[in-house]
Structure formats: C-alpha cells, structure tokens
Structure 1
Amino acid sequence: MSVDQGKSTGADYYGPANITLAIFLVSVLGLFLEMLLIRWISTEIRIFAYLQNTILVVCFLGLGIGCFTSKKPVALRKLLLIPLFFLILLIAIPQTKEVLGNISQMLSNLGDLVIWHSVIVSNLWEALFYLIAGLLLTFLLMVLIVDIFIPLGRLLGRLIDAHPQTIWAYSVNVAGSLIGTWLFVLLSVLHQPPVIWLIVMAFFLFFFLEWGNKGKIDFALLLGIIIFSWLASQENSLEILWSPYQKLVLKESSCQKKEAGKFNLTVNNTNYQALLDLSEKNVKSHPNKFSSEMMGLSQYDIPLILHPRPQSFLVVGAGSGNDAAAGIRHNIKKITAVEIDPAIISLGRRYHPEKPYDSPTVQVVNDDARSFFATCQGKYDVISFGLLDSHTTTAMTNARLDHYVYTRESLERAKSLLAPGGIIVLSFEAQKPFIADRMASILSEVFQEYPLCFCIPYSNYGWGGVIFIAGDLITVRKQIDNNKRFAALIEKWQNTKPVPLTYTTKVTTDDWPYIYLQTPTIPILYYLLAGMMFLLLIRCGKYFSLKQLFSEWRLSHWHFFFLGAAFLLLEVQNISKAAVALGNTWEVNAVIVSGVLVMILVANFLAAIFPKLPLKVTYVALILSCLTLYFLDLSRFAFLPYFSKVVVVGGLTTLPIVFSGIVFIRSFAVVVGKDTALGANLIGALVGAMLQSVTFITGIKALLLFVAGLYFLSMLTQPPTLLKQPFPKGEPTPQIT
C-alpha cells in the first residue's frame, strides 16, 4: 500500500515520504527540543529553575493543540522558527537577558516560595508593579514556547492518523521519544553547550523544511538561532561548563566586590561557591584579608575541631573541595568527599588552590548523598553536610535535587554511619527562620536532644551560614570549653546574630520533602501560574480557532484525557519514589523515564500478542498495582547491590505502566480521529503535570491515590463502542514511496 502525500499528510508537508520514518524523526525532535528548552530556559531565567515543570506543561499544551489542529497548515516558520529565534535573541542580548533573569526577584515579593536573592519591598504599589511585570514577562515566554510546539504536534497528529498500522506507529513514536531522551542525556554527559543542542535540533528539523527558494528564509532563521545561541553563552569567565545538572561559570574573584577566595563559582547565574585557600601559609601572609580572630576556626575547620581525635571524615555536598582541604589540614587519615555534580568535581581538581582532590587521603565519590548513605558500609567520626542547595528542581517533579538529603529518614541513615562518639555538623543557608527551625527540629527528633546552633557571618574564611551540631554533644561541649578563643567566638556570633528556634516547624520526610515550604500549602505563585495557563489556553483557543473542536469533545476524548493525566502523575511519582531508593541523580531520572517508555513498548507488544485480553481485567490489575505501590516502601530496597536495586525498584515503579499502556493502545487502535485523541491525551498530561502541586499538601505517596482515581475515571469514560470494536491485527505494512 503506497502513501499518497497529498491526501495523507497534507500539501504543506515536506518531510520524509516514509510515514514511519517521519514519525520517528518528529518524535526525536519533539522530545529533544522539550528537554532542551526545559534545561536552557530554566538556567538563564531562574524563575523556571524553581518552577521547572511549568515549561513541561507549556510544551504539552503546544503539542496537544497541535494535534487538535493537525488539519491546519503546519507553519514551521511562523509558529516554530520565528518564536524560537525571538526567544533565543532575548537571551542573547545582555539587557533583555538580565531583565528576564530578574523575574524571580520580581515574583519573590509573594514571600511564600523561597527564592535566592529575594527582593522584598515594603511599598505596596511597588510590590504590585513588580508582581504584574514578572507575570507578564513569564506569560510572554509561555506564549513563545507553546507556539514552538504546535507545528510539531500538527506533524505528529497527521502522521499517526495517516499511518495504517496504529500499534506500529505509536511504538515508533515512543521509540523516537526514547532516543530523543538519551540523545540529550549524552550531550549533557559530554558537557556540551546550548549551541551544540541547537545544531542537533536543526539536524532533525532539516527533514521537515521546504527546500528551494521558499526555504531560504527558514534556513536563515535556523542559522540565526544557532549564531545567537552561541552568543548567548559567551561570558567573561575562566571556564563555562554545562554539567548534567546546571550551568557552571568559574570566574576570578573580584577585589572590588570583596568576594572571598581566589575563584568564584556560579550555578545558573547565581553565586554558589568560593574556592578558598585557607592554608596556614596563605592566611598568615594576608593579614589584611584574614582576621586573626578566626584563624583556624573557619566553617570548614569547625567540624574537625569539635571532635577530640577525628580519624575519618565524610563530607556530603563536597563541592569544589573546601571541606576536604580542611580535612587535610587537620591530618585526617580517611576523607570521603561526596559530590553529585561531576563537573564541579572536575573544576575542583583543576582550580582549587589547595588541590585537596589530588591527596591520597581523599576519596572522591560522584554520587547523590542519599544514595551514598544507603550503600555506605563504613563508619565516620565526623559527618559534615556542606552548603547543599541545588537552586533547581528536576524537570518532572516539584522537589529540588537536595530535598531528600534533609529528610528525617536521610538523617537517621546518616546517624547510623557515625562511629562511637561521632558527630554530625550540618551547614545551611537558612534564608528564613522556619528553615533553621526545621533543621533543628529534624536533628532533635533523630538524636533525641536539641542540637547546638550558631550563625557564622560572611568573611574571607567562607560564606558562612547556620551551623547545627548533633551527636556526642557532651564531648563537643568539652572541646569548645577547652578552646577559649573558639568559645568566645561562638558567644560573639550568638549575641550578634542569634538563631531563634521554636522546634514547632513541620519536619520534612520522604513523603513530604519540601524544605522551603513552611507548611503543607500550595504557594500563591502556583495559583497565579495556573491562572496564566488558563489565559494561555483562552488565547490559543481564539488564535487557533479551537472553540469548535472543544465543543465537539466526545466521551472518547475524556477517556484519553484521564489516561494522559494519570500517566504523567504516575511518571512523576515514579521519579520521586525512585529518588529515595536510587538517589536523585540525572542517571536515575533518565533511567526511570526510559523505563517508562520501554514499558509502553512492552505494553504494545503484549496488546498485539493477546488481542482478546479483557480490558476489565487489565484495569483491575492497573489500579491494584497503583495501590500496592502506595503501601510499599521502596527505601527498604536501598541496601541491595546497585544493579539489583535498579531492576527491582525500576520494575515495581513502572509495572502500572504496562497495564495502562495496554488500555491506551487498545483504545487508540480503534478510535476514529487519532490526532484529536492524541491531543486529548496530551492535554490530560498537561493537567497531570499541574496536579503535581497537590503533593505540597498531600505528600508524595498520596499521588498514587490520585493516579488510581484518574485511571478509574478513564475506565468510566471509555465509550462502549470502543469496547465492541475488534482489535486490529494483521494490518498491512505501508510501502516506501
């Protein structure tokens, strides 16, 4: 059977003649571009680093609207190239980049979402101006992103609707998404910058552009996109690295700005670490920079001073090596430095003035702190938590990368790694009083006594922060009393900047790990973003004439809508639960997302092999598997060997995907209008992504109850006509024209 391009895919389609190949290419392109924008926009425009799933939601909206309007012109130039060119131009121009980067400060006046470098103004009108300006700029960015994905949705909707083999077409779509995921992961592993990402995107987009005179403008826009993406990444710095997690910029410290250390490291355009030379020789040779009062008593030295004979020292959140350097200065025989970001380790090796990572006494471990706790078999005299703050969330959840490090369960595991007489020292930049109170409350619950606490000010010895000490406090107090200079310094700090502690703040747990929320509530900013999403939907409805389509929304659309919402929530919940057992690394996130896509392929295979499998039985298995995961504590598998742990945890968390995949493909194969069915599914995924905020109130586990409920609604809304349709088999294979 040949494929007639004029009738099957539209006169304005310029992609490959082979529909199967075209579905694969547009699927790779769509997923790759989605990950590209999530990563880059959240880096340069920091409000999306805190609300990263907002970009994910907007991408789903664009793809969904594209599928709904797949019969309209694809309009790659108007709806993809021009908005993408304009978006990158805004990031490339320093003035507009700075304005967009300050959106987070504009919206920080709401006060209920902790944002670095918040700017709180007392004047009501000024605060209102900043709020409106921040929301308008955010809305502008959302409009650009949603338009970018509409042509890709139109291409995908047309191609799948035109393909004579539904199971094969959808399987190719999923396989393309899997390749797109790992292609971006590979570039992240190789620390490639955005200009390389855009070149790869351009390669896949070439297959769908019109060639000839009319296509010259498209190629000029693509060239401009690549050039401006290169310009956007240029900064006056020693080195710029795009790690698997974040953008790292290393600069020499400025004397005019009175920055501590020889080098300063920023993460996503925010000050993050100073690479300090606190060797005795350097400190004594610069008495104008280093006060004699704090000599040998920096925040990095303190954990080792508080123990009488420390022989083993564990640092989680080791960064570029300041803590490890202190261990070397104190002649610690065994130092373990755990850091999640391989690029930060690399910078520490090459630029830290004391070269701590070159020492044979230092073992550098590239891992998530929580994952290391689960597998570590050693004991330590001193465990130090560095200034862990990821400044960012993952692309799929509301939890920042460091949230699970500071839960009650995590600190209980850290306590179990202490040698007799050992201590834990936790440093944290508590931007609000409730954060310090939360840390103290968790430690008091875990150790059954109030921790010692004081605030170290910023100086050339370090950026300071609130220090909490727990463990063998009797010995700790003796160490302080025996060091009169240290005791006097602590007393001075406590008098100068006391840390008020009430021990009443809700503690964080693996089920509710949100350090930066005072209470289980949805922040006001999330409600405002939901309102903007509604306005964006109205705008798209009018601009793309969606009124008639939505007025013809049928029962089958609701069926696919609920399947999409449940699927996205299940994927989010999988990543959150897997992070507890496997760690919150980029590898874990990529493996879980890939596992979900692989399970969809497995479901498609099973649906083809067992076409008469009763859907009611599948639904029962689906809902029961969700409820089983609700009661199952995956952290109990954290002590298994890593490969076994990945197989067990990955298999359990993705098991419901097999059953839901069977339900989806059975319905999708026989529905009339596969483009609008897919659009309804993507709109449902959008709603599922927005429902993530419910976990702020209910906790991570309760998300599974929402998933089970949504799947139940999809069962109720499955039209009887779909159930009566024979499942297609033995479909002819499309020929290559």
Structure 2
Amino acid sequence: MLSARSLADAGTVSDRVRLVGLSFLMLFVELALIRWTGSNVVYLSYFSNFVLLGSFLGIGIGFLRARAKVDLSGWAPLVLGAFVLVIAVAPVKITQDNADVFTFSSLSAGGPPREVVLPLIFLASAAVLALIAEGVARTFARFDNLDAYKYDLLGSILGIVAFSALSFLRLPPLAWGLVAGAVVVAMVLPRVPTVPQVVGIVILVVVLAVESFSPNLAWSPYYKVKAAPNPDLDDNLQVDVNGVPHQVHQTPEFAPGKGVYDVVRPPSLDDVLIIGAGGGNDVAVALERGAQHVDAVEIDPKLYELGRDRHPSRPYDDPRVDIHIDDGRAFLERSEREYDLILLALPDSITLIGGQSALRLESYLFTEEAMESARDRLKPDGVFTMYNYYREDWLIDRYGSMLEGVYGRAPCLQDVLPAYGPNGVALTGFSASREESSIECTEAGRARTWQASGEIPEPATDDHPYPYLRTRSLPTIYAVSLALILLVSLLAVRGVAGPMRPMTRFADLFFMGVAFLLLETKNVVQFALLFGTTWFVNALVFGGVLSSVLLAIAVSRRVTFKRPELLYGLLLASLVVAFFLPPELLLDLALVPRFLAAVTIAFTPIFTANLVFTQRFKDTGDSTTAFGANLLGSMVGGVLEYLALVTGYRSLLVVVAVLYGLAFLFGRRHLGVRAAA
C-alpha cells in the first residue's frame, strides 16, 4: 500500500549530493513553514516558536526512524501539500485581548479556537519535518559520522542562504513552493516521481500560486501585506499585515498622530526623528508643522514603498526627508545627530523575531536603556514622544515610571485620540523632556501629568525586553501548552523509537542539544540588540552559527583531543566571560569593533561547544540515533527558552552551563575511553 518511493533511495543522485539536497530541503521547509503559517494563522504571529518546536520534534523522530524497515520519507510532499491546503482553506482569526499574553490586539473571531489550532499545527509541522528528516537520516547513515554531519550542515547553510535570498527579493510563497518542489523532483530523478509525490507538489504549488497572485497582496521580509482602499475611510489606503489591520494612509488633517503637537513645544523642528514611519502619516504631519529635516526610520521596506507610491500627501517625495530602512533601536545607537523631536509612531510589529519565543521586532525600543539612548540623541530642549493603543493601565504606569526615571520628572500623558464606541480604546501618548518649557501639558491638549494608577511594574530592560509582560512569569497558556508539547513529544518518541532505555547511552548528546539551542537563542537576541531585529541580522546569525559548527567539524577531523574534558573547561570559561560582560559596553563601541567583539564573545562558546559535540559524536556507532537524541534535546531547549520570560536572557547562560555540566557527567565514560586511546 505504501507506494511512495523513498526520497533517500529514489534515484541515482550520488549520496553526497542527496544528503546536501535533502538537508537543504529540511531547513528550507522549516523556515518557510514558520513564515507562511504565521502569515495565515494570526495567532502564530505571536507564537511562531510552536512551529519551530514541532519541527525539532519531527526532525528528531525522522532520525530515530532511520533504521525502520518501512521508509515513509517519500510521502513528505503529499503531507506538506495537505497541510498547506488545510491552512489555506480554513483561515484562522482569533480574538485576543488577554493581558497575560502581552499581545494587545483586537482581532475578529473566526475559525477554530486556538486550543485546536496550535496542537494541530504543532503536530502537522512535526509530521512534515519527520518525513523529510527520515530521508535525510537514511542517507546520513551511509557516511562516516563527521562527513555526514558536514554535508548536513552544508545543506542547511544553503537552505538559509536560499530562503534569505527569496526574502531579500520579496518573492511570494509560490517561489518557496517551486524551490521545495524542484528539490524533491531532483532527489528522485532520473526515475519518475510517484503519484503521491506529484499530487503533493501540485497541491503545494497551486495553493501558493492562488495566494501569491491574489489581488492587492504583496510579501515583505516580515509580513503578508494587503493594501486596498477602504470605502469606510473615504477610500484611503488600508494596509493589513498577516491578516491584521495595521495602517491607514491619511492626510495630516486626519492623521492620528497630529495630536502630539498639541503638547510638544520644542523651540524648533530643525531635526526630527520618526521611528515607525510606515506609510508616512507622521512624516507628513511633521513636514506640515515645519520640520526642516526628518529622518524616517521604517523596518519594513514594503510598508515604506506603499507610502512612497500611494500616500495622498507624498511625504517621502519631499527633499527634507531621509528614509532609513532599519531597526529603530539600531538606528538610535548608530546615529550621531541630535534631534529636536524623537517620535515613536505606533511601532507595533505584531510579529516575532523568526522562531523566538516572545521577542517582537519592536521589543528593544521600549526598554529602559532604549529610552536613555533616545534621551542622549535629543538636543537639550528636545522632546521625546511615543503613542500607541496601550490598553492596560499597568502598561501605561510602566512606561510612565520608566520615562520619569530617565528624564527626572513625570512625563505628560495625553489622549491623542479619545476612546470611542462601547469597547473603544484611547490612542495614548507620552511626552518627556529635560526642559520643562518644551512640553505644554494642559487639558487643552487632552493631557495631564502622569501619575501611577496602582502598583508599578518593574521596567523592561535589554536583558528582559518584555514590555507587554506585566510580571516575570510564564503565562498560563504557555505553561499548559508547553507541558502538553512535552507530553506529546514523549509519547511520539516512545511510539517511534520503542523503549527509552537504549537511548540513555546518548544522554550527554541530548543535554548538549538542549544547551546548544539555548546558547543559539542567547546569541540571536544579543545580535538583535547590538545590530537590529531585522531579518538580515537574524539570517546572518543563524548562518554564522552553522558556519561555526562546520569549522568545529573541520578541526575535529584533524585533531583528536587526548584530554577532551579540557574542552568543557574552555567552554565554561567562555560562558563566564559572556555572562559578566555587560552588553552596554559593546553598544558603546563603534560599529566595526562592536561587530568584532560580538562575534568573538558569541561564537567562541558556540565553536567550543561544537568541538565538545563533534569529539563525542565522531566515534558513535549509531550516528542516526545519536543525532536524533541531540535534535530532541534541541526541542527541549526550545521549550526551556521560555525561561527567559522569568529570568531574562543573561541567566540563560547559567542554564547552559548547568546543562553542559550534565552532559559532562553523563558522558564521562566516553571521555575516559578517548583518553585511554
């Protein structure tokens, strides 16, 4: 009955090319699923890590199945096509105004509830990746351990490069489907693909083609962007991202942010910085108010282009405006200009850094250190202002307290737009300055001096950049979901691999996988802070991590450490340095020395950790089971990543050190064997 031919054995492509190609397919599909499901299932814009966790589980299971008699890898295209079809025909919109989940959005309810959606997407992601990974693993087993690992990494690096190139070119999902389908076909040539493979590829390409050629849709590196005139808003252009209303292009007369100028009174507007410039509403208002120069910062190039080409006031055509496609915090840290006005204009990304548990694109704009950085970029009488739909009194109190601490006086709190309708929420703004006369905080501007309404939450910081999380805690939805994920994963591994006892011989590799995922997470967020939360920085970090692993393999092929326990000592030392070195010291450096220092601090423990892994892995007798145990450890590491919501990111290094200590304890007998040899 199982007629789909194995991806691992389907044709005459050499094993080397096949392993690279299938590893490419595995990582490329993982990245595409994270991106595509998040654009179609609203909830995954905030919880994309669930897809990542499912992918890790699936890859681990695929490797554990490598020695099974029945090869299921040939069914991967059909299962992938079915998954994409189901998501496409059953769009999900979810009402989410739960303060415990720090996603303050008002979305219309529709589709199945999240309790159904999240488990199904987790399991479907695991199934797709398990089938692809099984093809990888069966080819993996034909090589020497380190050779197999090397070719797997080469394919993974190529997968990152390819997906990053498509992101750079802003090609729609059809391009992703064509790439995945072409790789599948290439892996089975010169034989004819089976019917399930052809059907799966056709479904995948047709569904993505229909979406890609839908009217008014475009794809940026971050979002699925829909832009169309809204007849209820005088046919002004409304921009939705990932299915959520995001911006409306309006002339200065009707722009929401015009109200902030009822409060701010800097002596001049010679230099204005607008972060979150988007389609250009706030840029147009600043120009109308007499700004002589505007630095407009927008992280998403497509949102800027829509404003450039279709905003009724054409603010980006004005020679007084310089546009910067960049992360706002990164621009603040690099800029040497002083401003009369710095405006954070509704910078609400509604999406996460790729695959991270809770770090949104704008998270580092609302930390204590970011507000200090903005203050340092102001002229002595300059004004800092920010506005958004804050929704929660405790969030208003958090920002008010932070600004009071930074500027030495309570900020001005303003209803930029009052609430309207039975469930309306006011558009609220803060303004702060070192010069009292630069702000006119009066009732005429619907403004008053901020006063705490209750217990003030602790400030968000660069180490704990979660402004939308009220306390250092793990929200109930996460705790329950993660517990269920671990339970399902345990049952799935038990069902695939049989009794768990035989796998305990690779317990050290399991703990290395847990630790390495946390170490990778720490580096992703560290580089996001130092260089911006852009897709490009994210891709460079993941590419750098895999390149460091590849270098460790090259070293381990040529060198056998007679005392491998010393590597653990070097790893611990590098973690200690990373823990005690404050990030603000790196932020104070110029760009080039900052980059060199960051690379050294971040990648030394990664490189050393992979020397530890490769020294252990290269002599294992069962490479696929060993690698599967390591991958399952990575999945558990993805769960433990949520500890950062409680501890902050710096403390993850302590957890990493403990985990590598456990790997050392469970792997001591292997160290002894190597020393004796």
TM bin (shorter chain): over 0.9
**Superimposed CA distance per residue, residues 158-179 of structure 1 (whole angstroms, 9 cap, x where no aligned partner):** 222221x322221121121111
- Residue 297 of structure 1: how far off its partner (Å): 8.2
Task: Report the counterpart of residue 154 of structure 1 in structure 2.
Answer: 134
Task: Report the counterpart of residue 516 of structure 1 in structure 2.
Answer: 468
Task: Report the counterpart of residue 408 of structure 1 in structure 2.
Answer: 368
Task: Report the counterpart of residue 264 of structure 1 in structure 2.
Answer: 238
Q: Retained in 1: the 8 A contact 2:368–2:402?
A: yes
**Superimposed CA distance per residue, residues 447-475 of structure 1 (whole angstroms, 9 cap, x where no aligned partner):** 11110102233699x99621001004521
- Residue 217 of structure 1: how far off its partner (Å): 3.4
Alignment of 1:581-730 (within 5 A): 581-721=530-670, 723-725=672-674
Q: Retained in 1: the 8 A contact 2:43–2:114?
A: no
2: CA distance, partners of 1:213 / 1:608: 38
1: CA distance, partners of 2:107 / 2:295: 38
Task: Report the counterpart of residue 732 of structure 1 in structure 2.
Answer: none
1: CA distance, partners of 2:637 / 2:320: 48
Q: Retained in 2: the 8 A contact 1:566–1:711?
A: yes
- Residue 723 of structure 1: how far off its partner (Å): 4.4
Question: Is 1:418 the equivalent of 2:378?
Answer: yes
Task: Report the counterpart of residue 114 of structure 1 in structure 2.
Answer: 102
- Residue 640 of structure 1: how far off its partner (Å): 3.7
> Residues 296 and 331 of structure 1: is their aligned pair in 2 closer, same or farther, counting only changes over 3 Å?
farther
> Residues 260 and 500 of structure 1: is their aligned pair in 2 closer, same or farther, counting only changes over 3 Å?
farther
Q: Retained in 2: the 8 A contact 1:110–1:525?
A: no
> Residues 664 and 403 of structure 1: is their aligned pair in 2 closer, same or farther, counting only changes over 3 Å?
same
- Residue 396 of structure 1: how far off its partner (Å): 3.6
Any idea what SS the aligned residue of 1:430 has? Answer: coil
Shifted more, 130-139 versus 679-688: the winner is 130-139
Task: Report the counterpart of residue 528 of structure 1 in structure 2.
Answer: 480
2: CA distance, partners of 1:352 / 1:120: 27
Question: Is 1:63 the equivalent of 2:51?
Answer: no
Match of 1:320 among 279, 283, 288: 279
Task: Report the counterpart of residue 305 of structure 2 in structure 1.
Answer: 346
1: CA distance, partners of 2:82 / 2:437: 62
2: CA distance, partners of 1:566 / 1:12: 30
Task: Report the counterpart of residue 406 of structure 2 in structure 1.
Answer: 446
- Residue 299 of structure 1: how far off its partner (Å): 3.2
1: CA distance, partners of 2:502 / 2:149: 24
Question: In the alignment, residue 618 of structure 1 is paired with which amino acid?
Answer: L
Question: Is 1:220 the equivalent of 2:199?
Answer: yes
- Residue 233 of structure 1: how far off its partner (Å): 4.1
Task: Report the counterpart of residue 436 of structure 2 in structure 1.
Answer: 474
Q: Retained in 1: the 8 A contact 2:567–2:608?
A: yes
2: CA distance, partners of 1:433 / 1:503: 10
Any idea what SS the aligned residue of 2:245 has? Answer: strand
1: CA distance, partners of 2:572 / 2:223: 37
Task: Report the counterpart of residue 77 of structure 2 in structure 1.
Answer: 81
Any idea what SS the aligned residue of 2:101 has? Answer: coil
Question: In the alignment, residue 552 of structure 1 is paired with which amino acid?
Answer: P
The root-mean-square deviation of aligned C-alpha atoms, in Å, is 2.9
**Superimposed CA distance per residue, residues 332-388 of structure 1 (whole angstroms, 9 cap, x where no aligned partner):** 111111111112111111111111111111111111111111111111111111101
Task: Report the counterpart of residue 4 of structure 1 in structure 2.
Answer: none
Question: Is 1:167 the equivalent of 2:163?
Answer: no
**Superimposed CA distance per residue, residues 286-317 of structure 1 (whole angstroms, 9 cap, x where no aligned partner):** xxxx6xxxx998236446x5223221111111
Q: Retained in 2: the 8 A contact 1:338–1:367?
A: yes
1: CA distance, partners of 2:616 / 2:36: 36
Task: Report the counterpart of residue 162 of structure 2 in structure 1.
Answer: 183
Question: In the alignment, residue 641 of structure 2 is paired with which amino acid?
Answer: Q
Question: In the alignment, residue 547 of structure 2 is paired with which amino acid?
Answer: V
Task: Report the counterpart of residue 383 of structure 1 in structure 2.
Answer: 342
- Residue 554 of structure 1: how far off its partner (Å): 2.5
Task: Report the counterpart of residue 180 of structure 2 in structure 1.
Answer: 201
1: CA distance, partners of 2:635 / 2:535: 23
> Residues 532 and 233 of structure 1: is their aligned pair in 2 closer, same or farther, counting only changes over 3 Å?
farther
**Superimposed CA distance per residue, residues 573-626 of structure 1 (whole angstroms, 9 cap, x where no aligned partner):** 001112221111112111111111111111112222322352111110011111
Any idea what SS the aligned residue of 2:319 has? Answer: coil
Q: Retained in 2: the 8 A contact 1:209–1:215?
A: no
Please list every run of 5 or more consecutive structure 2 residues that lacks an aligned counterpart in the other structure: none
- Residue 63 of structure 1: how far off its partner (Å): 0.4
Match of 2:314 among 355, 374, 379: 355
Match of 1:92 among 88, 92, 106: 88
Question: In the alignment, residue 516 of structure 1 is paired with which amino acid?
Answer: Y
Any idea what SS the aligned residue of 1:515 has? Answer: coil
**Superimposed CA distance per residue, residues 627-670 of structure 1 (whole angstroms, 9 cap, x where no aligned partner):** 21011123322344434432321221111111111111111110
> Residues 186 and 149 of structure 1: is their aligned pair in 2 closer, same or farther, counting only changes over 3 Å?
same
> Residues 86 and 669 of structure 1: is their aligned pair in 2 closer, same or farther, counting only changes over 3 Å?
same
> Residues 217 and 156 of structure 1: is their aligned pair in 2 closer, same or farther, counting only changes over 3 Å?
closer
Match of 1:434 among 394, 401, 405: 394
1: CA distance, partners of 2:332 / 2:192: 61
Question: In the alignment, residue 536 of structure 1 is paired with which amino acid?
Answer: V
- Residue 236 of structure 1: how far off its partner (Å): 4.6
Any idea what SS the aligned residue of 1:624 has? Answer: helix
2: CA distance, partners of 1:301 / 1:671: 68
**Superimposed CA distance per residue, residues 696-729 of structure 1 (whole angstroms, 9 cap, x where no aligned partner):** 111110001011111111111115246425899x
Question: In the alignment, residue 196 of structure 1 is paired with which amino acid?
Answer: A
1: CA distance, partners of 2:598 / 2:578: 11
Q: Retained in 2: the 8 A contact 1:438–1:507?
A: yes
Task: Report the counterpart of residue 501 of structure 2 in structure 1.
Answer: 551
Please list every run of 5 or more consecutive structure 1 residues that lacks an aligned counterpart in the other structure: 1-8, 122-129, 284-289, 482-486, 729-737
Alignment of 1:496-515 (within 5 A): 501-502=453-454, 504-515=456-467
> Residues 422 and 133 of structure 1: is their aligned pair in 2 closer, same or farther, counting only changes over 3 Å?
closer
Any idea what SS the aligned residue of 2:432 has? Answer: strand
- Residue 406 of structure 1: how far off its partner (Å): 0.6
Question: In the alignment, residue 446 of structure 2 is paired with which amino acid?
Answer: I
> Residues 153 and 217 of structure 1: is their aligned pair in 2 closer, same or farther, counting only changes over 3 Å?
closer
Any idea what SS the aligned residue of 1:250 has? Answer: strand
Tell me the TM-score normalized by structure 2: 0.92
Match of 1:249 among 208, 226, 250: 226
1: CA distance, partners of 2:455 / 2:445: 25
Shifted more, 398-407 versus 226-235: the winner is 226-235
**Superimposed CA distance per residue, residues 215-234 of structure 1 (whole angstroms, 9 cap, x where no aligned partner):** 13321221121001222345
Shifted more, 132-141 versus 566-575: the winner is 132-141
Match of 1:540 among 475, 478, 492: 492
> Residues 559 and 507 of structure 1: is their aligned pair in 2 closer, same or farther, counting only changes over 3 Å?
same
Q: Retained in 2: the 8 A contact 1:389–1:402?
A: yes
2: CA distance, partners of 1:315 / 1:208: 49
- Residue 132 of structure 1: how far off its partner (Å): 9.6
Q: Matched residue pairs, number?
A: 668
Tell me the TM-score normalized by structure 1: 0.85
2: CA distance, partners of 1:641 / 1:572: 24
- Residue 506 of structure 1: how far off its partner (Å): 1.2
Task: Report the counterpart of residue 734 of structure 1 in structure 2.
Answer: none
- Residue 403 of structure 1: how far off its partner (Å): 0.7
> Residues 15 and 434 of structure 1: is their aligned pair in 2 closer, same or farther, counting only changes over 3 Å?
farther
1: CA distance, partners of 2:645 / 2:8: 46
Task: Report the counterpart of residue 5 of structure 1 in structure 2.
Answer: none
2: CA distance, partners of 1:619 / 1:502: 48
1: CA distance, partners of 2:50 / 2:7: 34
Question: In the alignment, residue 343 of structure 1 is paired with which amino acid?
Answer: K
**Superimposed CA distance per residue, residues 24-74 of structure 1 (whole angstroms, 9 cap, x where no aligned partner):** 111111110000000010111121111111111110000001111112233
2: CA distance, partners of 1:347 / 1:613: 61
Q: Retained in 2: the 8 A contact 1:569–1:707?
A: yes
> Residues 536 and 554 of structure 1: is their aligned pair in 2 closer, same or farther, counting only changes over 3 Å?
closer
